[in-house]
Structure 1
Amino acid sequence: MPNRMISILGRLRQDVAAAISAETIEAACKEVGYRWRRRKLGPVETIYLFLVQVLLEDTSCRHVVRIGGREFTDTAYCKARSRLPLAVFLELVRRVAAAVRGASEDSRWHGHRVWVVDGSSVSMPDAPELQGHFGQPGGQRPGCGFPVAKLLMLFHVGTGMLLRVTAAPLRSHDMSGAGAISGGLEPGDVLLGDRGFCSYAHMAMLLGRGISAVFRMHQQVNVDFAPGRPTARRKGPYPRPQGLPSSRRVLAHGPQDQVVAWPKPKGRPGWMTEEEYAALPEEILVRELRYEVATPGYRVRRVTLATTLLDAAAYPAVELAELYYRRWRVEHNLRNMKITMNMDVLKCTTVDGVLKELAMYAIAYNLVRSAMLESARLQRVDPDRISLIDGLRWLTAPAGECESPVLVVNPSRRGRYEPRVKKRRPKQYLRMTKPRREYHKDLLQQWVAA
């Protein structure tokens, strides 16, 4: 085991360190049916080196050879990573996430565990296998762009821990992986999401599993809080004419807070099978509420939520608005992973390697979150105020330095807003608009003409 990994394990909580111990790694291999022989780069050594590589902001494989402190080549290390099944990495993600979640089980909202789902994307090398599987953004000629994967990630709101991450081709809807990403949720959980996840099929699917939803209303759904709408006692045209809400009003909690019945759409979404869609109920009850955003700097001035938490006394509209505000924390989590931890551009050149690399980022991120949670507990502050980059540096510092996790606490800046602009100018190079071989041909012709 590299000395750097010994230092990292020694700084983690005992239960979190056990989730990534040598015994756990070997148990995960046996659980998925993977057999191996004793060698310099077995499953334990390979996982540890891969983890240190990611924690050091995805350093090169040649650097890993120096970190390992043993005689092997970067090619041998890459082959060792490819030998390990992806299922081993996913099992370790689950174990580490469970250990980190257990470090702060008191972070519940009205007795519910709260999760937030969101999508993002990552770039990767321009390899034929990756191009064929993930694709690249439109408007780019072949040979001028890089493959991009669409990610779907599930975070725990209280701890910031990452439970699951999936990667799909660029031209796929976020909902295509919603079923798999929510597989780790349990009855009684609450799921937050933006308008891309707000649909009848998704909410009905969650209701069938006993999971509550709090989503921002989709922009194509018409919402009407007018008192004259049809109610359960006075039946009206249902569904109503085009341009008006198709839902049926059941109960009014306030001027902009009501419970309505959503009818089952005739069209089946592409991410569900015929059997799954046929099993959904003909209508579901949804609570619609609207509130104003008065914080300066926010582009959105009015937010309409759709939730399956129907009881206004148990879940007041003000508290639901505050809960949805916490959804924005996922943007900070994604920024920390993609920018601070350098996940924005992956390094592997195969689909299997990319998925393993994402799993290792999930493990590394959760280990850093574990250090942040412990530091927040010692300093009695919100975990999201702890500096992630300071936690990353503390976790990877040489042994014997800064053993106590007293990390930097960022100022509380609720409502702070900054323009999304860059001050540092990029180099004045032209953009690549045709394959590199054509540029080489043009340069050769210029030399011949000269």
Structure 2
Amino acid sequence: MSPTILPKKGLGFPLIRILVLITLASGALLDAAVAPCTGKETGEQALLRQMFGSLNKEDILLGDANFENYFILAALISANIDGVFEKNDSRSLDFRKCHVKLGSKEGLFKLARPARPAWMDEDSYREVPKEITIRAIKTKKRIIVTTLIDAERYPRKDISDLYIDRWHIELDFRCIKTMMNMDILRCKTPEMLRKEIYVHLLVYNLIRGLMAKATEAEGHKPREMSFKTAQDTLRSYHHLLLMGTINIFQLLETMVQLIGKHKVGNRPGRSEPRAVKRRSKPSKKLQHSRKKARKLKEYKS
């Protein structure tokens, strides 16, 4: 995941890229990396390489086409970690020439090691295997590339359904950016911006923790809990939590009961247009401080 966050308007800061690892089962955040949107080693793949240490053996890394890269796939295989990604547009796969045919529009392919990228030194490049085997599955809408090459243990439908479930992570991005008002940051220095980002992510995990408690109490699945309800409940009770005059465990039990009463609907295959309903206002955008703008003619009516 790589949501782009914009610091406070009008101050000339660059965009910030944040890559996070989120567990699909509960939505909890496992790790995060922050970098500018421009410069060396600031891309999504570079940030992912920084977080490989947060992945464990036999984990499955689920991502979009940007992470379908030979060196990422090779690194996952060597660490006994699997990956499921949409095929990158730059990769050409001909199912008529696959190494092992597994079915209609499904097969194993052998990928040859590409040329050494600029970010990798020669010693590291020599350690990368010269060839890896991947499995490709073509569905109606996409081609899925995975290191789960055992077709009997990992059926085609299970992998396709797993990739569709990736939409939950997009909803988690929306929770972080929109519901938690993190789309525009307020701090002015890089140090404070990082603190502001990590405080947001800390509170996000706190809300997910409350949802997990509600899951245990009510017997629901974590993805059936409403993030908005949990967030509103925490806001309603945070003054009482800070006061410390009431038993905190009783408050938490009450909060968990309230959160557990609200379930989200089951909406498989939901597709929404990428468009905003609210029209923008015709006012000019403020590109300077208000003190300076009062003296400029372009802002005077």
Does TM, normalized by the shorter one, top 0.5? Answer: yes
Q: 1:335-414 residue pairs with structure 2 within 5 A?
A: 335-396=174-235, 397=237, 398=240, 403-406=254-257, 407=259, 408-414=262-268
Structure 1 distance, partners of 2:288, 2:201, is 36
Question: After the TM superposition, which residues 87-106 of structure 1 pair with which residues of structure 2 at under 5 Å, given as runs?
Answer: none
Cα distance change, pair 395–330 in 1 and its aligned pair in 2 (3 A): same
Correspondence for 2:269? 415
Distance 1:190 1:385, change over 3 A: same
Are 1:337 and 1:365, in contact at CA under 8 Å, matched by a contact in 2?
A: yes
- The equivalent residue for 2:160 is 321
Mapped pair 1:160 → 2:11: no
Letter in 2 for 1:210: N
Q: Which residue of 2 aligns with 1:187?
A: 57
Listed as ranges, the matches of 1:172-251 within 5 Å are 172-226=42-96, 229=97, 249-251=98-100
**What SS does the corresponding residue of 1:395 show, helix, strand or coil?**
helix
Give CA deviations for 1:177-215 in whole Å, capped at 9, x if unaligned.
Answer: 111122211111110110000011110011111111111
Q: Which residue of 1 aligns with 2:279?
A: 425
Q: Give the alignment's Cα RMSD to 1 decimal.
A: 2.6
Determine if the alignment matches structure 1 residue 255 to structure 2 residue 104.
yes
Matched residue type, 1:261: K
Give the letter aligned to residue 104 of structure 2: P
Relative to the length of structure 2, the TM-score reads 0.85
* 1:145–1:210 Cα change, 3 Å: same
State the 1:176 CA deviation: 1.5
Gaps of 5+ in 2: none
The amino acid across from 2:181 in the alignment is: N
Q: Deviations over 1:274-294 (max 9, x none)?
A: 3322210100011111112xx
For 1:177 and 1:366, locate their aligned partners in 2 and report how far apart those are by CA, in whole Å. Answer: 20
Task: State how far apart, in whole Å, the 2-side matches of 1:291 and 1:383 are.
Answer: 28
Scaled by the length of structure 1, the TM-score of the pair is 0.58
CA-to-aligned-CA distance 1:96-142 (integer Å, 9 cap, x gap): xxxxxxxxxxxxxxxxxxxxxx111111136xxxxxxxxxxxxxxxx
C-alpha distance in 1 between matches for 2:255 and 2:176: 24
The verdict on how the C-alpha distance between 1:308 and 1:423 changes in structure 2, with shifts beyond 3 A counting, is closer
Which runs of 5 or more structure 1 residues have no equivalent in the other structure? 1-117, 127-142, 230-248, 293-301
Q: Deviations over 1:128-186 (max 9, x none)?
A: xxxxxxxxxxxxxxx67543101111001111110111111112421111111222111
- Aligned to 2:57, the other structure's residue is in SS state coil
Alpha-carbon separation, structure 1, partners of 2:72 and 2:163: 18
Alpha-carbon distance between aligned partners in 2 of 1:352 and 1:122, rounded to the nearest angstrom: 15
How many Å separate the matches in 2 of 1:441 and 1:342? Answer: 31
Code of the residue aligned with 2:180 in structure 1: it is: M
In 2, are the aligned partners of 1:216 and 1:303 still within 8 Å (CA)? yes
Distance 1:365 1:250, change over 3 A: same
Partner Cα separation in structure 2 for residue 181 and residue 384 of structure 1? 25
Q: Is contact 1:373-1:383 (8 Å) kept?
A: yes
Spell out the pairing of 1:47-62 with structure 2 (5 A cutoff). none
* Structure 2 residue aligned with 1:55: none
Q: Identity, % of aligned pairs?
A: 29
